[in-house]
Amino acid sequence: MEAIAKEIQVSSLNHLKAKGKPDHTTLYDHLLHVALVAEKVAQHTGLDIELARTGALLHDIGKASCVFQKKLQPNYTRDPNEAPFRHEIASLFFLPLFPEQDHAALIEMIIAHHKSIKKDARQGGICDLEERFEAGVNLENHLQDWESWCEDALQLLSLLGFRTRPISRGEAEAAYLKVVDYCESVAPGYSEWKGLLMAADHFASALVHRTASQLNPLFKAPNLNHYNRVSELHPLSLISAASEKRHTLVTAPTGAGKTDFLMRRCSGRVFYTLPFQASINAMYNRFCGDLKEDNPDLHIRLLHSSSSLIIEKGKVEEKILQGHIGASIKVLTPHQMAGIVFGTNGYEALIMDLKDSDIILDEIHTYTQVTRAIVLKIVEMLSKLNCRLHIGTATMPTCLYKQILELLGEGNVYEVSLSENELEKFNRHIVYKEESFEGCHETLETALVQRKKILLVANQVDTAQKWFEYLADYFPEEPRLLIHSRFKRKDRQQLEKMLTGSRIDDYGIPIAEFNTAEGSCIVVATQVVEVSLDISFDLMITQCAPIDALIQRFGRINRKRTPHTIGEYKPVYVLAPPPSENDAKPYESEILQRSYSALPDQELLDERSLQERIDAVFPTIEDVTVEKEAIFCQSRWRIDKLQHKAKTALLEKLDIDSVTCITQADQEAYEAAEYEDRMQFEIPVRYHTIAYRKLDQSLLGTRPFIIPDCAYDPEKGLLLEFAKPEHYANKYRFI
């Protein structure tokens, strides 16, 4: 009878919603979902489990307010003169129900789980609101209709297991003033409680009613026995991974077995970081295949999106999408980890996920001087968070290597490298320098007659698209494929499967194509093929890139190692750098010039000479701006608790994929889909190329920009020249 009575009471509060469309989750359900995750996170991180549950059940209770519920109505439009209402502020009116000693943790969990308390992008933090309005205005705004909605909130808290009593308006006012005083006096550092709540809220909001079923695998260390395999062709597999030293630095060529060695060095949950989306897609698939037998319920996460950009009235705020907390293995890119360096929205949740884990940094020092400086800050932060760092490289400049050793403490690092005799066995490429792509036409013709597999690599998507059109004109009968970052994720996955020959037919048999098919083919790509993509082509034509990136690209040519292929060499053609700084993007023109000069011409690229060539291009690493923008420097926090930076320095400094877009035709399906399914519609795109085109933007998911359908081609990807409002199809705008 008790259960039936409670069910009736719960049903009577179903009008209180936590979310609008498409989920329409009730407030009761959402609070329970978040509490389940919060308990799990607290258990793993050593925080008070009961207090974590209390904060989770209280964090959104302010949504019971009539003001908030009105906002969820389908026809609601906000009055531009209306004062902001923050449900998290209203939630803290109920502090008097809880012991005084719990107040600090509850305030930290609740008050900033959406907004920075100060210097918020749209001045919506509690301290910002106090400054914007005269004394008492913000308080009275949040106490609107207190007597009418307080009763509903108290009934809900009672159903959630709390002992309640009436709270007077005076008590609620006193609680508010206490919160303001607390926020105005916070010390430098980060809040574990805020991180816990944000992680739990993100998880529960994404999975909704599937939350409980997904908790069991969280925070489990994987069984990595698979990587104890031994092969004479992979010399690192013959070296013991046992060492009392906490961290690892492995230097070895592509194909020497770095991934296996780095995994053998791990003892806990693993974060595996690679430079590009295609790299992490390939590594994710590899882990799924490698570990399935020993880990039937393994929780492996692939972090697709780097961030969500909220752009409103010319102001930009970036929010880290840390993926679901607690995965046994998470595969991601450096941008997705760099939020802990710059303190962007959500960085505390990412810290809670990262702490005490094994972090593998695999070939993450490409692109620019700024990127390399950011890598050093990531290493410093991860070390501070008690992580075990395992770094693998084929192309690290000596200056960066030495600085990493200094940060980690040389006595704490297990250093592994191959002998010169072993390195000589990895010589695979003859380098040729060419002035232009058009000058390689005869080389292409000859190679195709010889039934060679050709890989063309451009530095910019539009260049890759132009090359692809060129091939369609001159070699229309050849199998050809274009792959870059600006495809819908579902299309990109199919392209990667086609490239690697991993598609299967209706009978479960792999389809031989491109990398695995007999005969010639041409693949045009960007940097997405540089790292960890298991393909082996016969010839490459590539634009000049920084030498470390070039060496990674070369690793896709003559990659397969057998006793018979050692000593066999294949050609790579490198195009001369463009003269202008703009055409050199995303790289620095000077670095391209130095890299081109450091390469041999019509000669074997000797692995034993690579370090000297790399150091000639990168003699130093300097970027004082990164140091100034970092939130932790010289063992000191430079950001106050409960605050984050609205716009990351990373966004300004790196021209990398930061936002997403979707087509008009996909918008309705995207907004109706669940978290996982939405990703399939998204097209990653660089912030500066799309943000100022006055395109519509969805309010759901990663807040993607809406592009006209004619701005996307399944074979070519995003066509930026058509990503303009005048190309919208009006039929979709009236849905």
pLDDT by residue (tens digit) across 33-92?
999 999 999 999 999 999 999 999 999 999 999 989 888 887 787 777 788 899 999 999
Give pLDDT, residue 543.
Answer: 97
10 Å CB burial of residue 734 (0-12, 13-18, 19+) is exposed
What percentage of the chain reaches a pLDDT higher than 90? 61
User: Quick one: pLDDT band at residue 13, thresholds 50, 70, 90?
Assistant: confident
Please check the confidence at residue 319 and state whether its pLDDT lies above 50.
no
Most confident range, picked from 343-352, 494-503, 597-606: 597-606
Please check the confidence at residue 374 and state whether its pLDDT lies above 90.
no
Cβ atoms of 275 and 269 within 8 Å: the answer is: no
Give pLDDT, residue 321.
Answer: 42
The CA–CA distances, whole Å, from 672 to 352, 603, 662, 730 equal 30, 57, 13, 20
The Cα–Cα gap between 718 and 483 comes to 11
pLDDT by residue (tens digit) across 626-652?
788 889 888 889 999 999 987 655 555
User: Quick one: pLDDT band at residue 121, thresholds 50, 70, 90?
Assistant: confident
Please check the confidence at residue 501 and state whether its pLDDT lies above 80.
yes
Give pLDDT, residue 194.
Answer: 97
Cβ atoms of 143 and 172 within 8 Å: the answer is: yes
Give pLDDT, residue 731.
Answer: 60
Most confident range, picked from 245-259, 304-318, 663-677: 245-259
Give the residue-averaged pLDDT of 218-237. 94
Give pLDDT, residue 316.
Answer: 45
The upper half-sphere exposure of residue 1, i.e. CA atoms within 13 Å in the direction of its Cβ, equals 0
Considering only residues 515 and 656, tell me which one the structure prediction assigns the higher pLDDT.
515
Give the residue-averaged pLDDT of 464-492. 94
Residue at 204: amino acid letter: A
Pairing of strands 717-718, 712-713: antiparallel
415 beta partners: 249
Q: Which of 347, 28, 387 is nearest to 194 (CA)?
A: 347
Cβ atoms of 569 and 427 within 8 Å: the answer is: yes
Give pLDDT, residue 716.
Answer: 96
Please check the confidence at residue 164 and state whether its pLDDT lies above 50.
yes
Cβ atoms of 229 and 237 within 8 Å: the answer is: yes
Please check the confidence at residue 582 and state whether its pLDDT lies above 90.
no
| Mean pLDDT over each residue of the chain, to the nearest integer | 88
Give pLDDT, residue 653.
Answer: 55
Please check the confidence at residue 249 and state whether its pLDDT lies above 50.
yes
Considering only residues 711 and 274, tell me which one the structure prediction assigns the higher pLDDT.
711
Give pLDDT, residue 733.
Answer: 52
Give the residue-averaged pLDDT of 134-152. 92
Most confident range, picked from 283-297, 437-451, 608-622: 437-451
**What is the CB neighbour count within 10 angstroms for residue 422?**
16
Helices (H), 46-164: 49-58, 66-71, 87-91, 103-110, 126-132, 137-142, 146-159
Tokens of 295: 């880990």
Tokens of 11: 């049903």
User: Quick one: pLDDT band at residue 322, thresholds 50, 70, 90?
Assistant: very low
Please check the confidence at residue 466 and state whether its pLDDT lies above 50.
yes
First to last CA, the chain: 47
Cβ atoms of 19 and 205 within 8 Å: the answer is: yes
The Cα–Cα gap between 338 and 347 comes to 9
Please check the confidence at residue 558 and state whether its pLDDT lies above 70.
yes
User: Quick one: pLDDT band at residue 562, thresholds 50, 70, 90?
Assistant: confident
Please check the confidence at residue 286 and state whether its pLDDT lies above 60.
yes
Cβ atoms of 227 and 260 within 8 Å: the answer is: yes
Considering only residues 448 and 300, tell me which one the structure prediction assigns the higher pLDDT.
448
**Helix, strand, coil % (nearest 5) of the chain?**
45, 15, 40
Q: Which of 66, 115, 109 is nearest to 86 (CA)?
A: 115
User: Quick one: pLDDT band at residue 367, thresholds 50, 70, 90?
Assistant: low
Helices (H), 252-397: 258-264, 277-291, 334-337, 339-342, 347-354, 369-384
Give pLDDT, residue 214.
Answer: 86
Is the C-alpha dihedral spanning 162, 27, 701, 92 positive or negative? negative
Considering only residues 599 and 527, tell me which one the structure prediction assigns the higher pLDDT.
599
Pairing of strands 683-686, 603-604: unpaired
The upper half-sphere exposure of residue 275, i.e. CA atoms within 13 Å in the direction of its Cβ, equals 26
User: Quick one: pLDDT band at residue 309, thresholds 50, 70, 90?
Assistant: very low
Give pLDDT, residue 201.
Answer: 94
Q: What is the pTM of this model?
A: 0.86
Considering only residues 654 and 667, tell me which one the structure prediction assigns the higher pLDDT.
667
Please check the confidence at residue 112 and state whether its pLDDT lies above 60.
yes
Domains and CATH numbers, the chain: 2-214 (1.10.3210), 225-423 (3.40.50.300), 428-605 (3.40.50.300), 656-733 (no CATH)
Give the residue-averaged pLDDT of 380-384. 92
The Cα–Cα gap between 593 and 465 comes to 24
Give the residue-averaged pLDDT of 319-342. 78
Give the residue-averaged pLDDT of 124-139. 91
Give pLDDT, residue 297.
Answer: 83
Q: What is the CA radius of gyration of the chain?
A: 27
Please check the confidence at residue 386 and state whether its pLDDT lies above 50.
yes
Cβ atoms of 626 and 408 within 8 Å: the answer is: no
DSSP notation for 207-267 = HGGGTGGGSTTTTPPP--GGGG---TTSGGGGS----S-SEEEEE--TTS-HHHHHHHT--
Tokens of 513: 């194509």
Considering only residues 725 and 533, tell me which one the structure prediction assigns the higher pLDDT.
725
Place of tokens 């695998």: 217
